[in-house]
Amino acid sequence: MQADIIVDLQYGDCGKGKVTHHLCKSGEYTHVVRYNGGCNAGHTIYHNGKEFITHHIPAGVFFGIKSIIGPGCVVNPKQFFKEMQMLKDGGIDTEGLIYIAKNAHIITGDHLAEDGKDSKIGTTKRGNGPAYRDKYSRDGLRAETVDELSDYLIDIYDELHNSENVNVLFEGAQGFGLDIDWGDYPYVTSSHCTSAAALLNGVPPQAIRKVWGVAKMYETYVGAKKFQPDGEIFNMLRKVGKEYGATTGRPRQCNWMDWDLVEKAIKVNGVTDLVFNKVDILEQVNKWNAYKGGNEIKFENGELMQKWITDNVASDGVRVYFSRDKDRI
């Protein structure tokens, strides 16, 4: 078995969907597995000139690759079927391609109602926190107990370990700054968002080849804590970067890139390949700023900032790629 992992190095919304979509085109993967989170995630994917926003379903489906919602995920069946319909309506063939691990957990109506009342964390109100809590207090419902999901259930051990030439792309949700252990607790999500979480979905560590770390040239965060500094420039960043939640439509708070966070995320995740998305947004606001060691650094242009980033990771042998928002790859 071989596997690559995609992780987000900031607060989600860095463009993992774009990277997954790009990597799937190579045709080398036999499976794409989502390894954490639920429909709190929103992946925006451009496929054959159309925009799709998926919450549960991995991007592999766009390329006819078997796509599995792994046991580290929580699933809202209603949302799952809604998404299946959305894909079918958009002309995507889902037949025999989409599966849910039998041991993934279910987001129930009660979870949704409870999370709907949240005012402390600024959750997406999609029931994630209560569903994970019930999973860990051993009060949860597994997907295998839900009749209407029976056509989609899969035993992920059988699937990954008893098939030939398995090559998995693991697709993460949320990001390092939202990780239950590494994020700014309690302003975090309820699942593990690091590359380690992929291993919890049935793949041995020896199988991992590449870990793709995805970041943005600036930072965004959605939630209850104050994140965005004062200054009109950050509102401009939001406007130019179209920084509104794919799941909730909430305006994302914006700030310059915090290199200390990105560096920590690179090390903890074991990133081998690094993608920085949205380089053209900083060009449009005509500012290239970042924080390192608590200081604000100002670059004269995008090329200097890119060189600085590349130099920062050179000693770790990490390959770096820069991508423009307007390039639909």
Q: Has 43 been annotated as catalytic?
A: yes
Please say whether the beta carbons of 107 and 126 come within 8 A. yes
Closest separation in Å from C-beta 202 to Mg ion? 25
Name the phi and psi angles at 62, rounded to 5. -65, -20
Point out which residues pair with 288 in neighbouring strands: 299
Which stretch, 41-49, 113-121, 271-279, 293-301, contacts Mg ion (CB under 5 A)? 41-49
Closest separation in Å from C-beta 40 to Mg ion? 9
Cα separation of 258 and 4, whole Å?
26
> Which tokens sit at 168?
């998995």
The one catalytic residue among 4, 8, 13, 179: 13
Cα separation of 235 and 325, whole Å?
18
Closest separation in Å from C-beta 130 to ligand IMP? 9
Closest separation in Å from C-beta 158 to ligand IMP? 29
> Which tokens sit at 24?
């799937």
Which residue number has the CB closest to ligand IMP? 223
The one catalytic residue among 31, 43, 56, 105: 43
Among 30, 54, 79, 123, binds ligand IMP (CB under 6 A): 123
Alpha helices (H) along the chain:
16-24, 77-89, 109-116, 128-136, 156-161, 195-199, 232-240, 259-269, 279-285, 302-314
> Which tokens sit at 5?
């992992």
Q: How many other C-beta atoms can be found within 10 angstroms of the C-beta atom of residue 327?
A: 10
Does residue 134 belong to the site contacting Mg ion (CB under 5 A)?
no
How many angstroms separate the Cα of 177 from the Cα of each of 258, 260, 326, 327? 11, 11, 26, 26
Q: How many other C-beta atoms can be found within 10 angstroms of the C-beta atom of residue 40?
A: 27
Cα separation of 279 and 323, whole Å?
6
Among 42, 72, 213, 241, binds Mg ion (CB under 5 A): 42
Among 86, 121, 146, 320, binds ligand IMP (CB under 6 A): 121
Among 64, 122, 251, 302, binds ligand IMP (CB under 6 A): 122
Does residue 13 belong to the site contacting Mg ion (CB under 5 A)?
yes
Name the phi and psi angles at 211, rounded to 5. -115, 110
Q: Which of residues 189-228 bind Mg ion (CB under 5 A)?
A: none
Nearer to ligand IMP, 124 or 201 (CB): 124
Please say whether the beta carbons of 61 and 92 come within 8 A. yes
Among 189, 195, 253, 312, binds ligand IMP (CB under 6 A): 189
Does residue 323 belong to the site contacting ligand IMP (CB under 6 A)?
no
Tell the burial category of 267 from Cβ atoms under 10 Å away from its Cβ (0-12, 13-18, 19+).
Answer: exposed
Nearer to Mg ion, 277 or 312 (CB): 277
Q: Which of residues 212-241 bind ligand IMP (CB under 6 A)?
A: 222-223
Q: Has 8 been annotated as catalytic?
A: no
Closest separation in Å from C-beta 14 to Mg ion? 8
Per-residue binding letters, 15-54, with ligand IMP (x by CB under 6 A): -------------------------xxx------------
Closest separation in Å from C-beta 183 to Mg ion? 15
Cα separation of 231 and 116, whole Å?
31
Nearer to ligand IMP, 39 or 166 (CB): 39
Whether the ω angle into residue 186 lies within 30 degrees of 0, i.e. cis, is yes
Residues in touch with ligand IMP (CB under 6 A):
11-13, 40-42, 121-124, 126, 128-129, 173-174, 178, 187, 189-190, 222-223
Residues designated as active site: 13, 43
Contacts with Mg ion by CB under 5 A lie at 13, 42, 246
